Amino acid sequence: MPITINVNDVDHTIDAAPDTPLLWAIRDHIELTGTKYGCGMALCGACTVHVDGAAVRSCVTPVSAMAGKRITTIEGIKSKEAKAVQAAWEQHAVPQCGYCQSGQIMSAAALLQTNRRPGDDDIDRAMSGNICRCATYVRIRAAIKTAAANLA
Amino acid sequence: MFTAKPFESTTRRDFLKAIGIAGAGLTIGVSLSPSRAAAEADAAIITKSNGAFAPNAFIRINPDNSIAVVIKHLEMGQGTYTGLTTLVAEELDADWSQIVAESAPADVSRYNNLLMGPTQGTGGSTAIANSYEQMRRAGAAARFMLIAAAAAQWDVPATEITVNKGVMSHKSSGRSATYGELSTLAAAQPVPDPQSLTLKEPKDFSYIGKSLPRKDTGKTDGTAIFTQDIKMKGMLTAVVLHAPRFGGKVKNVRDQRTRDQQGVIDVVQIPTGVAVLATDFWSAKKGRDLLEVEWDESEAFKRSSADILGEYKSLVEKPGLAARNDGDTSAAMTRVARVIEATYEFPFLAHATMEPMNCVVQVNAGTCEIWNGAQLQTGDQGTVASLLGIPVEQVKINTLYAGGSFGRRANPHSDYVVEAAHIAKAKKGTPIKLVWTREDDTRAGYFRPMYVHRIRAGLDEEGNPLAWEQRIVGQSILAGTPFEEFMVQNGIDATSVEGASTLPYRIPNLRVELHTVDLGVPVQWWRSVGHTHTAYSTEAFVDELAHAAGRDPVEFRMALLKEHPRHRGALKLAAEKASWGTELPKGRTRGVAVHESFNSFVAQVAEISLQKNGGFKVERVVCAVDCGIAVNPDVIVAQMESGIGFGLSPLLMSEITLNEGQVVESNFHDYQVLRIDQMPEIEVHIVPSTEPPTGVGEPGTPPIAPAVANALFAATGKPFHSLPLKLG
């Protein structure tokens, strides 16, 4: 049945079952592929998007719950915090395989949107839901600190 | 099986050397390509579509002055796009910003791994090692032709032309041109014999040795395309219901409810299960959940991990086949003052790449096209060609970025690629994207095998080791694969014993034995292969010996490594940088390990703190690596960080267990892997070297688990013999 969701400031009307996870609505129906599938159970964070500015695991969020919400994916981020995070990711050469990095960046941007000066514990709390099998964690931590410094 | 017989002209010795098992120095292939004819036939090609000049199979210079470097290896995060591009840019004297890396097609005549014989593939940390001379010669040849073109155009001697960042200049006439401007003319120049070209001396390098920005771009804005992201008109997503046990087969399928599911287009039975094809993933997944399948498990594997472990522990008490035999261990054991013994247990491990296995295949009449993070193109190509009954050349492979691999995508049986090809064969003309769920991926097998080791060593009165006897029990990774012929000799699978059979310590009587067990669990290499377990058992045990001898672990190792300067160099640097021997705050201890794998030498000092809850935290790791000439130091540092993080998971939490043949774990809640709050601080130091470069994708992994275990041993006085660690 048709459902309308707002992704990256654009309304999309898609024909998807109401239980379709937001992740697959974004990937298969709207065809934005920057948001990744990793586990389907909110265990790895690869699917992280922003819903009304907060980091949300799109793989367990039904599309039917998204009416009237503003969804932002990696392709649509433009907040100061998000741009600072992307720049810091490049500066620190964070990505290796890169598959988890959209989710990492979305989680990091959401962190900085609520906490401009995160300490190590804040970073652990905000980022421990995002797995990176290349273990780029040292650089993720450093890049978040750089982004925070550049926003100050 | 491969139809192309990929290894027919490779000797076993060359192959072993290539992947670092022989323990000898690496021999670099010197030809531009083993198929010179193919490489030179490419010369002087002007691409019809845009007039690009392709001086050889690795370089395309476009009229707009951009330069494509064709990368024959899979980019899976290890940085090969950057490393190989650096080699070309160095000799071409190109500007870094004008170069774009692109993936090579599957074409073994041009893009074989020179250390794997006539096979195109990535693995064994060989990308830089086998490309070091080849890619530089490719760059030098292109430069030669471009300069010849400028000399002809300007009517000046070629020797008077200089190049700086892709701009050729002739000083006295004041003329200059970019490579792009003269690319068409360059194509008309004679192709030089690559062997006649003089490559730069290391002192003249301008790119090699610098941390240039990476060329695998698009990874911070969602634009990088992985297999999972392929979109094609009319494409269907396939989700497969697999047998619950290895070796199970479909007996009966009731699929009406599946076919009634919205979005489902078809249900196809394939040898590995039942595939549900739908317009999108979620519809396919829901359709799969509605399948009712009865399985024939008459030949299925039904044993449990505990039972297998019991068998291995009993086997390890019995003599096995000798993989190495120095001196006379049995006789020496009768003369020693003290015998120390330990039995080590290692579980099955899944690769758990972030991108679960997937593959896009389209089969048309007489042709097939594949989109995949392909790691063994020659194998995939040959296997799919056989399946479809078409010539190998008719199987086109588009190699995409892989969302991690750690060996998984180099499956010698092309398991998931074949599965996708079976589905596409049944739906000719339709592009099929096979998507495994995380659960499918975790339970599909091709695990790092389970192993049990027993080591007994005898020390003399002064604590010097006189005898070392190690027995290893486990499955052969290579049995039944095309690699068996080269790497299994006299019943010894080199990958089962590497790292143990190559133990560098000077011990006069040293025997390593192997029991190879035939088990119906599919197994495969996993980042650093045999070293994943041999580095642990040997380096943890060496600490037990040092402890028994009352000696410092670093000093003890140094004394036994007199003939191994590169081990010593790495160990010394790591110990110095970690301030080994200095006092630490209460509750903190250090542990050390050094290990050679894939011709690189890595030492790590781990610092841990005991926690109030009875656990511990890995606080800091100091790593020293000797990988010969450091092509891109920052990529090397990144790979050491990555290898350390990857190696901590099997130490701390990862384990695949079988219960009556079924894989117990399914997703990241029960197959746990390292997260950011468990990641230590890491400091990496590169040992300066003029040796040819060797790999860094794997060698960072082996030493970390024993280094941490040795720190725990120092803290608790208790050695740890079973992974993952179970404290308390």
- Residues A21-68: tens digit of each pLDDT: 999 999 999 999 999 999 999 999 999 999 999 999 999 999 999 999
- Do residues B384 and B395 touch, judged by C-beta distance below 8 A? yes
The Cα B221–Cα A98 span in angstroms is 10
pTM over 0.90: yes
Mean pLDDT over B38-42 rounds to 43
The Cα B423–Cα B273 span in angstroms is 11
CA gyration radius, chain A: 15
Between residues 675 and 694 of chain B, which touch chain A (CB distance below 8 Å)?
675-677, 679, 681-682
Per residue in B262-285, pLDDT tens? 999 999 999 999 999 999 999 999
Percentage of chain A surpassing pLDDT 70? Answer: 100
Residue B32, pLDDT above cutoff 90: no
Question: Pick from A24, A39, A130: which is nearest to B280 by CB?
Answer: A24
> How confident is the model at residue A64, as a pLDDT?
96
Residue B295, pLDDT above cutoff 90: yes
Residue B38, pLDDT above cutoff 60: no
Q: Say how many C-beta atoms besides its own lie within 10 A of residue B317's C-beta.
A: 10
Residue written as token pair 């400091």? B683
Asked if B82 reaches chain A (Cβ–Cβ under 8 Å), the answer is no
Instruction: Compute the nearest-CA separation of A68 from chain B (Å).
Output: 23
The Cα B265–Cα B333 span in angstroms is 69
Q: Model confidence at B728, in pLDDT bands (50, 70, 90)?
A: low
Find, among B10, B34, B61, the residue nearest to B183 by Cα: B61
User: Which uninterrupted H or E stretch holds B467?
Assistant: strand B465-474
> How confident is the model at residue B45, as a pLDDT?
55
Per residue in A108-117, pLDDT tens? 999 999 999 9
Residue B46, pLDDT above cutoff 60: no
Chain A interface mutation, best of B76, B220, B375, highest count of A Cβ atoms under 10 Å: B220
- Sheet of B681-686: strands edge to edge? B588-597, B600-610, B616-626, B681-686
Residue A140, pLDDT above cutoff 80: yes
Mean pLDDT over B698-702 rounds to 98
Residue B199, pLDDT above cutoff 60: yes
**Single-letter amino acid code for the residue at B720:** F
Lowest mean pLDDT among A125-129, B19-23, B337-341, B652-656: B19-23
Spell out the residues 6+ positions from residue B147 whose beta carbon is closer than 8 angstroms to its own.
B158, B161, B163, B168
Percentage of chain B surpassing pLDDT 90? Answer: 90
Residue A124 to residue B676, Cβ atoms within 8 A: yes
Q: What is the dihedral of CA B320, B496, B593, B312, to 10 degrees?
A: -50
For residue A139, which phi and psi values (nearest 5 degrees)? -75, -30
Per residue in B361-397, pLDDT tens? 999 999 999 999 999 999 999 999 999 999 999 999 9
Spell out the residues 6+ positions from residue B37 whose beta carbon is closer than 8 angstroms to its own.
none
> How confident is the model at residue B25, as a pLDDT?
24
Name chain A contacts of B673, Cβ cutoff 8 Å: 131, 133
Q: Model confidence at B17, in pLDDT bands (50, 70, 90)?
A: very low
Tokens of B299: 């030949």
Q: Is the N-terminal amide bond of B724 cis, ω within 30° of 0?
A: yes
Residue B646 to residue A133, Cβ atoms within 8 A: yes
Per residue in B312-332, pLDDT tens? 999 999 999 999 999 999 999
> How confident is the model at residue A1, as a pLDDT?
79
Find, among B470, B411, B421, B471, the residue nearest to B441 by Cα: B411
Q: Model confidence at B47, in pLDDT bands (50, 70, 90)?
A: low
- Do residues B642 and B77 touch, judged by C-beta distance below 8 A? yes
Per residue in B429-469, pLDDT tens? 999 999 999 999 999 999 999 999 999 999 999 999 999 99
Mean pLDDT over B159-174 rounds to 97
Q: Say how many C-beta atoms besides its own lie within 10 A of residue B310's C-beta.
A: 12
Percentage of chain B surpassing pLDDT 70? Answer: 93
**What mean pLDDT value characterizes chain B?**
93
Residue B668 to residue A44, Cβ atoms within 8 A: yes
Spell out the residues 6+ positions from residue B667 whose beta carbon is closer than 8 angstroms to its own.
A39, A40, A41, A43, B438, B439, B442
Q: Model confidence at B195, in pLDDT bands (50, 70, 90)?
A: confident
Name chain A contacts of B355, Cβ cutoff 8 Å: 36, 38, 97, 99
Asked if B281 reaches chain A (Cβ–Cβ under 8 Å), the answer is yes
Find, among B64, B87, B315, B51, the residue nearest to B185 by Cα: B51
Residue written as token pair 């606080």? B619
The Cα B444–Cα B448 span in angstroms is 12
Three-state secondary structure call for residue B73 = coil
Residue A73 to residue B216, Cβ atoms within 8 A: no
Spell out the residues 6+ positions from residue B303 whose beta carbon is closer than 8 angstroms to its own.
B519, B658, B660, B661
Q: What is the dihedral of CA B607, B610, B615, B620, to 10 degrees?
A: -20
> How confident is the model at residue B117, as a pLDDT?
83
Mean pLDDT over B673-687 rounds to 98
User: Which uninterrupted H or E stretch holds B202?
Assistant: none
The Cα B279–Cα A133 span in angstroms is 30
Higher-pLDDT residue of B619, B8 = B619
**Single-letter amino acid code for the residue at B501:** S
> How confident is the model at residue B485, as a pLDDT?
87
